[in-house]
Amino acid sequence: MRLPGSGYLGRILNMSRAMEHLKEIMEALGPNKVFEDMPHRISHRMAHSPEILLHEDRWNSFLPDLVVTPESTEDVVSIVKIANRYKIPLIPQGGRTGSLGSQGRKGAIAVSFHRMDKILDFDEKNQLITVEPGVRTGHLGEFLNKKGYVQVEYPAARSACIGGRVGADGYNRYQFVTGRSKESVARIEVVFPDGEVAVLGDQGRRTTKSAFGYNLKDLIFGSRGTLCFVTKITLKCYKLPPIETWGYRAFPSPEDMVRALIDVCQDPIAMFWTWRLTGTPYWILRKISKVFAGTEYPSDIGALLDYNVFGDSITVENTKKRLNEIFDKHNGFISDDLPSEEIVGRSAYTDRDIALCRFVSLTHDRFINGGRGGMWISIDPGIPNNNAVSYISKARQIQEELGQMYPSLSKCCEFFPGITVNVDPHCVFFSGLLVLDMPVFDKNIRDDFIKLYIDHAELVHSLGGSASYVHGFCPREKEIDIIKEEVGDVEYEIMKKIKKAIDPNNIMNPYVRFINEEDPVLQAILEGK
């Protein structure tokens, strides 16, 4: 939809509310926490999201007007109050490893939490640790491991920030034991749009569960910064069991591997001690092996399922015996062409972050032929168990027919679906990858990209699943339609009412999930200006 009048974009640039109130913002935070220079603004423009590729004016549309770097809850309160008073949009940013909601926007202030990176308290007696939102998950893990505790927040990207884990309600590598983010976090301190500070949690302000009041904490998890900003997080801790072991099984096909994973997740014994179970189909194994090792992956391996088992000696022995019975049922085997079981399992566990999250773009043919690497984006559906095998077969068909179905996109994109993760006994989480050549998107490529996304979402919905289990990315122009499809029309209207009640001036990440028709900057972005 187009706003009446002409030349309104020029007026927007000349009437930036953030710049109008720059002096007040600097006085409130201090000049060393406020940046208007172009290098800072450019460095806070992008996130790990392809959304920026889907707009012609990607330079101006995503360039924030200001960058602020709070160092305390008091700083966050100050900037939020000013923004609320003058209706200036705020975009929260941490590690920017997520795929939705943290890229900059014209007319907005990027609020970077990277300076709020302290571990504030380790309550070992009650097994709770309190941190600021800018603490990296990798650094938190190092701290806990040295103390003899397992890392509770454990995403694929170790540079992800704990605050972002709240915003996305991420999955965890050990989710079967520690739960996803909303379950592994005891309570959070948040700043609401009016500057009020609250502590929310299923445990309230206490160290035990309270039966009084609503569970307000879970409302914030997954809200992507649209309701409030998180300034402190208290996480639950778990002591490391005495023994950790690794293993793997190869399978003739990805379908066999998926059936085995489902059986493990539903087994009343194995599921409690197999903390992590990750499956990789052959189209990824062969690509990575060729690029990084210069060898061909064994042709008889259709998929590889690697795992961790924690416990004491008796528990580990019994769990592995149970796993072997399940793997044998689904044609699992130890390959003579691979190293020992523990070496393969440990390597897959320790090197997956590097191979997939950092260097998977190097597998694109353009890089092999002397070009540049690109970026990757997660395509991460959750599929009910009864349709999980069907999904991997149909996703493979999309991969094989990418050139015919999406001819323009296929020139600069490869699709790697089907990495399985044990996160839920009722469904399978498939963490697929789209590897993109970032700089070359034109209209035909953008149209193909959106078509691929919608076709994939329709496939997932036809199987009773969710198009995104964790990362939440959706092309902005289709986001509302996908939300309504997944949560329902009535439920979406309830979401809008909650947003309006908490954030009446629509300053909290207003470009995500809700359309404010009175916002000319947003309208310009939606029109592709």
* pLDDT tens-place string over residues 342-387: 888 887 766 666 556 555 555 556 555 655 556 778 889 999 999 9
503/505 Cα distance (integer angstroms): 6
- Higher pLDDT: 40 or 523? It is 40
In this prediction, residue 364 carries a pLDDT of 59
In this prediction, residue 5 carries a pLDDT of 33
Of the candidates 307, 308, 184, which has an alpha carbon nearest to the alpha carbon of residue 243? 308
In this prediction, residue 483 carries a pLDDT of 93
In this prediction, residue 400 carries a pLDDT of 92
Of the candidates 70, 65, 84, 63, which has an alpha carbon nearest to the alpha carbon of residue 28? 70
Phi, psi of 371 (to 5 degrees): -85, -160
52/449 Cα distance (integer angstroms): 13
Q: How many CB atoms lie within 10 A of CB 518?
A: 10
pLDDT tier, 9 (very low <50, low <70, confident <90, very high otherwise): very low
Instruction: Please state the rounded mean pLDDT for residues 134-160.
Output: 86
pLDDT tier, 94 (very low <50, low <70, confident <90, very high otherwise): confident
Residue ranges of alpha helices (H) inside 62-136 are 73-86
In this prediction, residue 526 carries a pLDDT of 55
In this prediction, residue 439 carries a pLDDT of 65
> Token pair 């990789």 is at which residue?
280
Look at residue 202 and tell me whether its pLDDT is greater than 80. Answer: no
Look at residue 414 and tell me whether its pLDDT is greater than 70. Answer: yes
207/123 Cα distance (integer angstroms): 10
Contacts of 288 (CB under 8 A, 6+ apart): 355, 360, 363
Look at residue 520 and tell me whether its pLDDT is greater than 60. Answer: no
- Higher pLDDT: 171 or 139? It is 139
One-letter identity of residue 127 = Q
- Higher pLDDT: 460 or 10? It is 460
pLDDT tier, 18 (very low <50, low <70, confident <90, very high otherwise): confident
What percentage of residues in the chain have a pLDDT greater than 90?
A: 53
- Mean pLDDT of all residues belonging to the chain: 86
Helix %, strand %, coil % of the chain (to 5) = 45, 20, 35
Look at residue 101 and tell me whether its pLDDT is greater than 60. Answer: yes
Look at residue 50 and tell me whether its pLDDT is greater than 90. Answer: no
In this prediction, residue 228 carries a pLDDT of 96
Q: How many CB atoms lie within 10 A of CB 443?
A: 10
In this prediction, residue 3 carries a pLDDT of 34
